[in-house]
A and B are shown apart, each in its own frame.
Chain A
């Protein structure tokens, strides 16, 4: 791990409310150190995806402060901010009318890279995530299996070499075997590249396997934060205990 201890991204007292009812984020405070994998673990409706989206300003906080790479996101041009962050989404992430290579080269395209450089970069990244560029590059996303699509999505997020990756259920909707293999490969890759990662999941084993730290969320707040071992061995009584115990053998 290449952590230097400095903070790559942070939320401080962030509140977000959609319409009436309970807030989606309720004074949420979080931080992720450089080179670290922080997993936001929670049930659906816990606010974990909303929290993730405040980091690339797809969601704007009502109050509180969100900083990315040391700067308040409200001070960033949102387009520039998003191009500095890799974003991996479950399933729908790939644009269906573009080829896989075009998808992988999309952020470089937005950044104005020339076509030969984009194509070379796409080949490089497809190889990196274990997809044969000659076979998968010209294919459409629908011709790929779920696991192949997730690999391509990861390649796309890495294309412009961003220091921070946001991943929203990146291994959801995969069969257990494929999921397990991708998780291992991803963990190894991250170790090599030293990217900072914020990953959202509702899958307890996944969180414990991938995270350097895990933040368990419930009703818009972090109810427990710690290393996977701490979460597994000393879950807080109540929600965390029930949630973790229910998912582990």
Chain B
């Protein structure tokens, strides 16, 4: 662990800095919005209940769903820090708003009346009496918001905003505990530090003065960063995206390295939180390219039923995507379909080789799968009816990274994985044959934003060079190198390009 940290201390420092900026900026904005709004509510009491309810509802929106709403928005959205900050502000609003409101209302009414009786205007009463007396409560709200933000900001990695979540997500995707810890432990320490700092302000002898000093420091730091950020050169950069599992990250690195070889400047927005998020991002031009799977595009994005073979599915997707301003490049060369995977000994003992054999054994099989498979149009219900079986034991939902360990440990008999899972190559496992062709083809295809192609000459030809060059075996080996032996995706991608003659470097 120590050598791991020593190796990555520069990257870790950058991520911590990004994380701190996300938290500071979002908390500062939330204070700037929430405190005046909370004051306003004490003056317009009728609005208080609906306003607080709305802020409460905002808090319950899952972050990925919120990102989904935000990405297509013109000013607030996009891929990167802005979207993450907007989401963090929305989450931080409730505690600040509520504490400002209740903090002012809990000022003894007799004290407020005395202030009025002395001849204070509403503004003077607020400034001289109510705000100072409510300050400890307001500060407690800010403290809650900031500490929660430190935790929530890890989600920012899902929209490519960086921060410590980058390690957490990368670690989850590649089943690398060291990476998860390298993200989670500093985040926890950061939360403790923020909590201690704000507790210090809250309990200081002059909390008003301390809060002002802190706010001044934060604003100064942010201005400095904004100024420093501005100095970056404005070369147009190709934005490469990926979803949040190993294969996607590796493919993102492959694309990025290939583009860099050809002299293009690349921004990596890898590990984004899911299919719809990537799709929205490339459709709205926040991403230039990411790799999708033809069957996923057809069923999940276009909401169509699958008919026909690989070629007709691809044609259908290409036509529909053209209408959205998206270009579907030629397939990379592998079909990442779902795979029903068993241990070789179980398969042999039961004589289970094909999916059509399932009807005889489904009553006793223990199945492990990731939650999405229960819901997808091409998921379990359709599979069961196509092959005419019914599970005797409800399937166990688990994270993608836990499927193979569970299978290996004999906790489940069958898992629903992917054809290119690296661990299939590594262990003594059997993939059941889809003898009735239930699963649609999932050819990996780069998706490009057509309008942005002109901005990046050389992008289309670089992506085209990859067509047909990644077969299932190659993909499995790359996945295994990351998942099995914990090598860095960028390194694995670079090695692949060298070995396949696509790159000299």
With A107-B119, A110-B120, A110-B124 already in contact, the answer to whether A58 and B133 are too (CB < 8 A) is no
**Cβ–Cβ contact B108 & A92, under 8 A:** yes
Q: B54 on the interface (CB 8 Å rule)?
A: no
**A-chain residues with CB within 8 Å of residue B114 when the two chains form the complex:** 87, 89, 92-93, 95
Q: A79 on the interface (CB 8 Å rule)?
A: yes
CB B317 to nearest CB in A, in angstroms, measures 66
Which chain A residues numbered 96 to 111 have a C-beta less than 8 Å away from chain B? Answer: 96-97, 106-107, 110
How far apart sit A168 and B118, CA to CA, in the bound complex (Å)? 13
With A58-B116, A82-B116, A97-B132 already in contact, the answer to whether A92 and B110 are too (CB < 8 A) is yes
**Cβ–Cβ contact B129 & A83, under 8 A:** no
Nearest opposing residue in chain B for A111, CB measure: B119
How far apart sit A156 and B120, CA to CA, in the bound complex (Å)? 14
Q: A46 on the interface (CB 8 Å rule)?
A: no
CB B185 to nearest CB in A, in angstroms, measures 40
Q: A201 on the interface (CB 8 Å rule)?
A: no
CB A181 to nearest CB in B, in angstroms, measures 24
With A96-B133, A97-B132, A97-B133 already in contact, the answer to whether A82 and B117 are too (CB < 8 A) is yes
CB A4 to nearest CB in B, in angstroms, measures 26
CB A86 to nearest CB in B, in angstroms, measures 9
**B-chain residues with CB within 8 Å of residue A110 when the two chains form the complex:** 118-120, 124
Nearest opposing residue in chain B for A106, CB measure: B118
**A-chain residues with CB within 8 Å of residue B115 when the two chains form the complex:** 95
Q: B121 on the interface (CB 8 Å rule)?
A: yes
**B-chain residues with CB within 8 Å of residue A34 when the two chains form the complex:** none
How far apart sit A84 and B116, CA to CA, in the bound complex (Å)? 13
**Cβ–Cβ contact B119 & A79, under 8 A:** yes
CB A146 to nearest CB in B, in angstroms, measures 16
Nearest opposing residue in chain A for B121, CB measure: A79
Q: B113 on the interface (CB 8 Å rule)?
A: yes
Nearest opposing residue in chain A for B135, CB measure: A97
How far apart sit A87 and B114, CA to CA, in the bound complex (Å)? 8
Q: B111 on the interface (CB 8 Å rule)?
A: yes
With A89-B110, A110-B124 already in contact, the answer to whether A95 and B117 are too (CB < 8 A) is no
**Cβ–Cβ contact B111 & A92, under 8 A:** yes
**Cβ–Cβ contact A87 & B117, under 8 A:** yes
**B-chain residues with CB within 8 Å of residue A85 when the two chains form the complex:** 119
Q: A56 on the interface (CB 8 Å rule)?
A: yes
Which of B111, B116, B117 has its CB near the most chain A CB atoms (within 10 A)? B117
Nearest opposing residue in chain A for B110, CB measure: A92
How far apart sit A53 and B132, CA to CA, in the bound complex (Å)? 26
**Cβ–Cβ contact A56 & B111, under 8 A:** no
**A-chain residues with CB within 8 Å of residue B110 when the two chains form the complex:** 89, 92
Partner of A58, one of B108, B117, B128, B132: B117
How far apart sit A92 and B117, CA to CA, in the bound complex (Å)? 12
With A96-B111, A110-B124 already in contact, the answer to whether A89 and B132 are too (CB < 8 A) is no
**A-chain residues with CB within 8 Å of residue B117 when the two chains form the complex:** 53, 56, 58, 82, 87, 89
How far apart sit A169 and B121, CA to CA, in the bound complex (Å)? 25
Q: What per-residue 1/0 map shows which CB atoms of B113-151 lie under 8 Å from chain A?
A: 111111111001000110011000000000000000000
**Cβ–Cβ contact A107 & B111, under 8 A:** no
CB B120 to nearest CB in A, in angstroms, measures 6
B residues near A (Cβ < 8 Å) are 108, 110-111, 113-121, 124, 128-129, 132-133
10 A-B pairs within 8 Å (CB atoms) are namely A58-B113, A58-B116, A82-B117, A87-B117, A89-B114, A92-B110, A95-B111, A95-B114, A97-B133, A106-B128
A residues near B (Cβ < 8 Å) are 53, 56, 58, 79-85, 87, 89, 92-93, 95-97, 106-107, 110, 156
